[in-house]
Structure 1
Amino acid sequence: MTTGSWWAAALAESVDASRPLAVVCNGEALVLFRDASGAACALEDRCPHRRVPLALGKVTPKGLQCGYHGWTFDGKTGACTAIPNLSADERVPPRYGARSYRVAEASGFIHVWLGDGEPDDARLPGSLYHPQGEEHTGASIVNVAAHEYLDAMLDGPDCLVSFDGVRITDFFLGDARTGDGWLTVDRGAVWKTRMLPPAFVTDHPLIVRTSVSLAGGAALVGLLDADETPLVTVFVASSANRRGTTSLCWRGFRHDARVASAPLRWQIARATGRAPFTVREQIDGAALAALLVAPSRDLAAARTAIRAPIASIA
């Protein structure tokens, strides 16, 4: 029984062969880079020699070189391949290797396997994200604990994500549902130009569909019309950073569908290529504290159900 998970740790374009990238994913300090073949690699961001962060080093054709004493580590295995003060005929002891992690690149994200068990490449969080046309991306660290961030995605996504010209209501369109490793809930939404406030709307012209992964920290947020035609899709990868904060990276795009009832502001944004959504980097603490606990209860129950068989076997 596996107890590990795939985590989307960084945007693919943020990881290159010119310099290492330091990230904290699910509380683990990692360094990401690309090796000479262009493959993405992940090592523990700590040199086994003097515990200096490897992200302070540089990428070389032979691997990642520590900036302190020049030890070099293979990106795929973590094996130390060179120590400057060793002669050509001296072998590097195997125990000097850095910890390496399994990496998979998909849907514009660098995924890292954290935990035990054999990784299942078919369960990559980004597998549900299929961009079309121009994307809008970003990365940030927000001052909210990771589990609270995912709970808020279900209980009040408007605290974390907004769509241009759209007001997300408090009205749930049915119960939360689980399937294929995700928990999904739909909310009604309206164009901000409507004269009636959302509380008096009976037929919502828009739907905000939020799905949160039962393992890992992925969230997929979609704006759809009343016929469930996708208008905007946003994939947000979240994980625990240090001191109760959360690492984020995201990608999103506007679908080709045109909406006759959309306000002029929406039409202009579409014509000019302006991002149709915003992932909030500054979160309103008062609004977050005021959220009622609702679908997040189902998320907690579903995650507990997944862990229960593991605990019983142990």
Structure 2
Amino acid sequence: MTTGNWWASALSEAVNNKKPLAVACDGEELALFRDASGRARALEDRCPHRRVPLSLGCVVQGGLQCGYHGWTFDGESGACSDIPNLHGNERVPPRHSARAYPTREADGFVHVWLGEGEPQGTLPSTGYQPVGREYSGSAIASVPHDEYLAVMLDGPDCLLEFAHVRMTDFFLGDPREEEGCLVLDRGAVWSTQVLPSQFVIDYPLMVRTAVPLRGGMIRVQLLDQEEIPLISLLIGTGGNRRGTTSLCWRGFRHAHQPAKVPLRWRAARRAGCPPFTVKTDIEGAALARLLVAPSRDLRQLRRPSLIPVREAV
């Protein structure tokens, strides 16, 4: 069995106390909602009675109510707290429980603990400190999760873009391990650059991509020559059904602005235009053209971590 990990499964604003949110992350299908206290909860998206998705139900005072026969489940324990057709002197059998997952909410994400073991460690969004306006979203990408992570190193321009910036294929050093991630820097230029990127000696910009060795939180930054951040972006990813990848992201533009920037960049900043785009329609031909390079290291490092048999028994 594999060890557990925190996964950023949804944006905080997407989870409410009215309608449960169906998400799939790391192969687990979940129903997210907020209980009476406003705390985010996660149950397996399957009623133990007739296997109907709980996300088709509704949130009630006592928890999450299945839309089929009205069974209600507590968000913290998963225990069935009410069955409508039981008599007053009948108790709900304890075996009628939905699987509950530990949750923590921070930095605008709802994190869910998936896998074995007790929840531990820092949340993947730790350290995210937005300044000013945030830009967020969610989507499902038609790319398998492992491939999505690999492409984020081999060719991130296939998956996202920064406004008025062109990423290059020039790596500024080898991939390196930092704080549980494989980190890679690549040169970038303003889209108004006259010379082709292969003739640029000193790149005015840098794209730093940090892909997790465990879990699914990707960190991407656009930096200037002095490595001062211009844009920071967090992308929560997880394996969804049928070889797709769930995405939810938050990002912002830093206050710092280099002296030499295109007029388009300044104008877009003043107008409050989104500084980045996370692509949802991904071109298969572009992925096929990518060389497998730094992602080789990632595949090796992301091999499943197994719990010793003596500890699992």
Query: When the two structures are superposed, what TM-score results if normalisation uses the length of structure 1?
Result: 0.96
Q: What is the CA–CA distance in structure 2 between the aligned matches of 1:310 and 1:151, rounded to whole Å? A: 28
1:12 Cα deviation from its structure 2 partner: 0.5
Runs of 4+ in 1 over 2 A off after TM superposition: 306-314
Tell me if 1:239 matches 2:238: yes
- State the one-letter code of the partner of 1:3: T
Cα distance per residue 1:76-127 (max 9 Å; x no partner): 110000010112222111100100001011111111111001111x321111
1:209 equivalent in structure 2? 208
1:290 equivalent in structure 2? 289
Q: What is the CA–CA distance in structure 2 between the aligned matches of 1:65 and 1:79, rounded to whole Å? A: 12
2:161 equivalent in structure 1? 162
2:7 equivalent in structure 1? 7
Q: What is the CA–CA distance in structure 1 between the aligned matches of 2:302 and 2:247, rounded to whole Å? A: 21
2:305 equivalent in structure 1? 307
Task: Judge conservation of contact 1:177–1:185 (CA < 8 Å) in 2.
Answer: yes
1:283 partner SS: coil
What are the ranges of 5 or more consecutive residues in structure 1 without an aligned counterpart? none
Task: Judge conservation of contact 2:2–2:306 (CA < 8 Å) in 1.
Answer: no
Q: What is the CA–CA distance in structure 1 between the aligned matches of 2:193 and 2:244, rounded to whole Å? A: 37
Cα distance per residue 1:175-201 (max 9 Å; x no partner): 111022111000000001111110100
Number of residue pairs matched by the alignment: 312
- Between Structure 1 and Structure 2, the one with more helix by share is 1
1:66 equivalent in structure 2? 66
1:307 partner SS: coil
1:277 Cα deviation from its structure 2 partner: 0.2
- State the one-letter code of the partner of 2:141: V
1:139 equivalent in structure 2? 138
Q: What is the CA–CA distance in structure 2 between the aligned matches of 1:170 and 1:311, rounded to whole Å? A: 44
Task: Judge conservation of contact 1:190–1:205 (CA < 8 Å) in 2.
Answer: yes
- State the one-letter code of the partner of 1:142: A
1:74 Cα deviation from its structure 2 partner: 0.3
Q: What is the CA–CA distance in structure 1 between the aligned matches of 2:97 and 2:133, rounded to whole Å? A: 41
1:102 equivalent in structure 2? 102
What are the ranges of 5 or more consecutive residues in structure 2 without an aligned counterpart? none
Q: What is the CA–CA distance in structure 2 between the aligned matches of 1:293 and 1:308, rounded to whole Å? A: 26
2:257 equivalent in structure 1? 258
Task: Judge conservation of contact 1:2–1:118 (CA < 8 Å) in 2.
Answer: no
1:81 partner SS: strand
2:161 partner SS: strand
Task: Judge conservation of contact 1:3–1:310 (CA < 8 Å) in 2.
Answer: no
Please give the root-mean-square deviation of Cα atoms over the aligned residues, in Å: 1.6
1:221 partner SS: strand
- State the one-letter code of the partner of 1:130: Q
Q: What is the CA–CA distance in structure 2 between the aligned matches of 1:99 and 1:2, rounded to whole Å? A: 18
Task: Judge conservation of contact 2:222–2:232 (CA < 8 Å) in 1.
Answer: yes
Cα distance per residue 1:124-171 (max 9 Å; x no partner): 111132211111011111111110000000011110010000000000
1:130 equivalent in structure 2? 129
1:128 partner SS: coil
Q: How does 1:222-237 map to 2 (within 5 A)?
A: 222-237=221-236
Task: Judge conservation of contact 1:2–1:117 (CA < 8 Å) in 2.
Answer: no
- State the one-letter code of the partner of 1:287: A
Cα distance per residue 1:187-227 (max 9 Å; x no partner): 00000111111010010000000001111111101000000
2:302 partner SS: helix
Give me the identity figure in percent.
61
- State the one-letter code of the partner of 2:275: P
- State the one-letter code of the partner of 1:139: S
Q: How does 1:50-61 map to 2 (within 5 A)?
A: 50-61=50-61
